[in-house]
Amino acid sequence: MKMRNETSRACDRCHALKERCQWPQGPRECIRCCRLGFECESLRPLKKAGRPPRAELQRRAILTSRACGDARNERGVGSLDMRNFSSVLRPSVARSLSEFSDLSGEDQHLIQQVMFDDDAMNTFVLGPSFWEVHRGHLISHFLVSKHSLKDAYLALAHCWTGAADSPGEDKAKTDAYHLHASSALMRLRQFQVHNSHGVSECLLLAGLIVSFANRSSVSDVSTVCNQALSLVKPSYESGSDFGPEELVFLTCLIIPELIHCLLHGTIPTLRFRPALASKPTVDRYLGLCAPLLPYFYDLCELGNALSYADEDDVCQVLEALDPVESAVLSWQPQMPVGFCSDFTTLEVTHILCQAQVMRLAALLIIHRLRFPFGTNDKPAQIMAACILTQLEMTYSATKKAVVSVILPVLAAYLNIDDEAERDKWYLRIPDIIGYSPPLAAYYQSLISSFWTTRDVLESIAWYNIGDVLSPLV
What is the distance in angstroms between the CA of the first residue and the CA of the last residue of the chain?
50
Contacts of 30 (CB under 8 A, 6+ apart): 4, 10, 11, 14, 21, 22, 23, 40
Handedness of CA 68, 70, 73, 74 (dihedral sign): negative
Q: Are 185 and 211 in contact (CB under 8 A)?
A: no
| pLDDT attached to residue 95 | 37
| pLDDT attached to residue 113 | 77
Residue 157: helix, strand or coil by DSSP?
Answer: helix
Contacts of 272 (CB under 8 A, 6+ apart): 250, 251, 254, 290, 293, 294, 297
Q: Which amino acid is at 139?
A: I
> Following DSSP, what letter does each residue of 400-467 receive, concatenated?
SPPSS-HHHHHHHHTT---HHHHHHHHTTHHHHH-S-HHHHHHHHHHHHHHHHHHHH-S-B-GGGHHH
Structure pTM?
A: 0.78
**Residue ranges in the chain whose pLDDT is less than 70:** 1-8, 16-18, 25-27, 35-38, 47-102, 162-174, 176, 218-219, 277-278, 470-473
| pLDDT attached to residue 6 | 39
Handedness of CA 339, 343, 349, 350 (dihedral sign): negative
Distance CA 340, CA 349 (A): 10
Torsion of CA 260, 263, 268, 271, to 10 degrees: 110
| pLDDT attached to residue 362 | 98
Task: Give the C-alpha distances (Å, rounded to integers) separating 220 from 11, 154, 350, 438, 446.
Answer: 42, 21, 26, 12, 11
| pLDDT attached to residue 91 | 39
Strands annotated E in 121-196: none
Torsion of CA 130, 136, 141, 147, to 10 degrees: 120
Instruction: Decide: residue 16, CB within 10 A, 0-12 exposed, 13-18 middle, 19+ buried.
Output: buried
| pLDDT attached to residue 173 | 61
Sequence length of the chain is 473
| pLDDT attached to residue 163 | 46
Supply the Cα-derived Rg of the chain in whole angstroms. Answer: 24
| pLDDT attached to residue 230 | 96
| pLDDT attached to residue 266 | 95
